[in-house]
Amino acid sequence: MFQESRLGDEQREKSSETGSTIWYNDQENRRFTGSAEKEQSETQAVDDHGIMAAVCEERVSYMNISLLEPIGVKPELIEELAAPVREAGHTFTWYEQKTTDIEELKRRSAGCDIVMIANNPYPAEVVMAADRLKMLDVAFTGIDHVGLDACREKKVTVCNAANYSNQTVAELVIGLTIALLRNMKACDGSVRNGGTSAGLMGREIAGRTVGIIGTGRIGMITAKLFLAFGARVIAYSRHEKQDAKELGITYVTLEELMARSDIVSLHTPNNASTKGMISRELIGLMKPSALFINCARGPIVDSAALADALNAGKIAGAGIDVYNTEPPIPDSEPLLHAKNTILTPHVAFLSEEAMVRRAHIVFENVTAYLAGRPQNVCEL
């Protein structure tokens, strides 16, 4: 049973002005905003990309929109960003606890025209069960956690939050690199155990060769940061960029990059063409003094081969933020038992600034879609 939300007089008054009612369900940790009357009418339009999109006709059609999980910002910001949607007469529901339970995801998606998620899995079974689903708004850059075949079959428009975490991810790459070069884990342990700097000689980024695999936006920002530290940068990418060449970045083959680099940083999406791309053979080309940094996607790398190389001393270290599964990582993950690693629990995207940017983008995706001009549309 719903109870009226204690959202403050100002928000209640705004809701009254728009003919909406805001409720809060303590048991289910969800907030609900609904318009008094709805009349369903839907037309189809083709955007510039040739993608079929359900277009909201404001005078007759209202949509049910649901945010299924938290997106790392304060409730006040969600209410602020949802205000234009509510004022247009649409229903907006959001949940303050995430779930991976398939049946619960189905329940939360039931009757929704637009579903908003972050990095929580949204499998094909849920997509197929969502009877009214027209648009899936992913508050994340990658969409490999979504049942894309089902979205394609149902002609669901999938939009992502491109570019919200570019700077944040690039900065963690630098952080992991410095932590490895300067032996941060060992330094911390030495101080805590009454030790000294003996045996803790570090190395600099300046003068070293950095190999960037994938010169998309994050790869380019990462390259610029390494250049600012005085590194030489080489790159491998399916598509070479003129602006990269103008920065002095030289494109080479993947094999040459792995062999020449002192630091390798991975920046490609996880898809059918990149899964397992960093193979045992490629890892075997790396220098014994080289570092490997992965803040992209886990399945792109043969993690067992990487762990073997680390344990055998064939490479010097690795900074890893992503794995074959999302944290918590099972004990069977080889990198958990590899030497000279710094492991982080998929936090590369996670900064206060990035979360605010992401929230703005995903709500802008909704309003653009409702206006018949979908943005950040992903190719399926």
Split at pLDDT 50, 70, 90, the class of 31 is: low
Q: What is the pLDDT of residues 269-296, one digit of tens each?
A: 999 999 999 999 999 999 999 999 999 9
Domain range summary for the chain, segments of one domain joined by +: 3-164+353-370, 166-343
Residue 3's H or E segment, with its range, is strand 3-4
Is residue 326 annotated as part of the catalytic site, yes or no? Answer: yes
CATH of domain 3-164+353-370: 3.40.50.720
Q: Report, as an integer, the average pLDDT of 132-144.
A: 95
114-117 sheet: strands from edge to edge = 3-4, 20-25, 30-35, 91-95, 64-67, 114-117, 135-138, 157-159
Catalytic residue among 90, 346, 357, 358: 346
Residue 138's H or E segment, with its range, is strand 135-138
Q: Indicate whether 178 pLDDT > 50.
A: yes
Predicted local distance difference test score (pLDDT) of residue 318:
98
Start-to-end C-alpha separation, the chain:
39
Catalytic residue among 87, 104, 326, 364: 326
Superfamily of domain 166-343: NAD(P)-binding Rossmann-like Domain (3.40.50.720)
- Please state, for a pLDDT cut of 70, what percent of the chain lies above it: 84
DSSP H stretches of helix in the chain: 9-17, 75-87, 102-109, 124-129, 148-154, 166-181, 184-192, 217-228, 242-246, 254-260, 280-283, 303-311, 352-370
Q: What is the mean pLDDT of the chain?
A: 88
Q: What is the pLDDT of residues 57-116, one digit of tens each?
A: 433 379 999 999 999 999 999 999 999 999 999 999 999 999 999 999 999 999 999 999
Split at pLDDT 50, 70, 90, the class of 32 is: low
Q: Indicate whether 12 pLDDT > 60.
A: no
Is residue 13 annotated as part of the catalytic site, yes or no? Answer: no
Predicted local distance difference test score (pLDDT) of residue 61:
77
- Please state, for a pLDDT cut of 90, what percent of the chain lies above it: 82
Return the higher-pLDDT residue of 11 and 378: 378
CA 303/CA 340 separation, integer angstroms: 14
Catalytic residue among 297, 333, 357, 358: 297
186 in Cβ contact with 162 (< 8 Å): no
